[in-house]
Amino acid sequence: MIERNKTNIEQGLEQSSAEKALVDLWKKGIFTSECIAFHGTSLEAIQIMAHTGYIPGYTLNDDYESSELPQPGDVYFHPRDNTFPFDEVNIDEFTNLNPGHFKDTLTWSMSYAKSNAVAHNFCAQLGLDISQHELHAYDFHEDFYRPTSPDGIENRAYFRNLRIPEHLQSQTLITANRRKGVILGLHRNTLKHLPISLGDGGDDFRVSTGMKGLHYQFLSGLLALGPQENAFFASLERKHIKRYAGRTKT
């Protein structure tokens, strides 16, 4: 069966639904009984979700022949220590860890969100494809205050080879560093619908979503970590209040 192209009206309705869902998730937060895991992401990724309904997943160009390797669309999460159903999930590596190992997963996810937020915004400001350059942007951020280190020299040279002068690299990163990121909460019902497997770190897991990424219906809530991120969700809320008010007048 050939999937027909969606009309502009259908695409507009989908985007409106995704935006409304994100506002509801923002209001709900992540500290609910339905939230079993955390994922740190960027405002750029959230903006994609507001448009398509999906948070982008794994995009690196690896060999996907083995299901044990990360697959396109996979999204990584850290288990929430007091709600994740460890006894129901068949991941031996989790059960072998100390029971208190996962008490700091929110802190880990906040750090991951910050790294994603800065790297993604750095690429976005410079007009670079995030999926192609994000790892170099991560490294550039990590080594920014060590410019004479071997890694610092290599990272600056990488972006210089893209015809981005060093003064622009520095200015862009200073602006990007204002971003804090967003924490996504995974809804416990996700485990009934999507397979999960051990992640790369040994104390995280990946949700297999397919090429599109993770749909907002599998989220329990979200937490915006910075003023720019909160301003984005507040603007979505105002947009939908205005839209609803306009409908009630007609």
54-55 and 182-187 beta bridge pairing: unpaired
Q: What is the pLDDT of residue 121?
A: 97
Q: How many domains would you assign to the chain?
A: 1
Domain-embedded: residue 182: yes
DSSP H/E element including 25:
helix 8-28
Q: What is the pLDDT of residue 22?
A: 96
Alpha helices (H) along 143-225: 150-160, 166-176
Residue identified by tokens 């500290």 is 31
Q: What is the pLDDT of residue 1?
A: 39
For residue 138, give its domain range: 23-249
Reduced to 3 states, what is the DSSP secondary structure of residue 39? strand
Domain-embedded: residue 118: yes
Could you say which DSSP state residue 7 is in? P
Domain-embedded: residue 131: yes
Q: What is the pLDDT of residue 124?
A: 96
Number of helices (H) and strands (E) in the chain: give both, helices first. 8, 8
Ranges of the chain whose pLDDT falls below 70: 1-14, 59-69, 99, 243-250
Tens of pLDDT, residue by residue over 97-111, are 776 888 899 999 999
Q: What is the pLDDT of residue 117?
A: 97
Residue identified by tokens 């560093």 is 177
Could you say which DSSP state residue 5 is in? P
Domain-embedded: residue 13: no
Domain-embedded: residue 180: yes
Domain-embedded: residue 15: no
Q: What is the pLDDT of residue 137?
A: 92
Q: What is the pLDDT of residue 69?
A: 65
Domain-embedded: residue 10: no
Q: What is the pLDDT of residue 4?
A: 47
Q: Kindly state the tokens that stand for 138.
A: 């991560």
Domain-embedded: residue 1: no
Q: Which of 184, 159, 185, 182 is nearest to 170 (CA)?
A: 159
Tell me what percent of the residues of the chain surpass a pLDDT of 90: 60
- Using CA atoms in the order 146, 142, 138, 120, what is the torsion angle rounded to 10 degrees? -100
User: CA of 79: how far to CAs of 82, 92, 109, 184, 225, in Å?
Assistant: 9, 14, 10, 12, 19
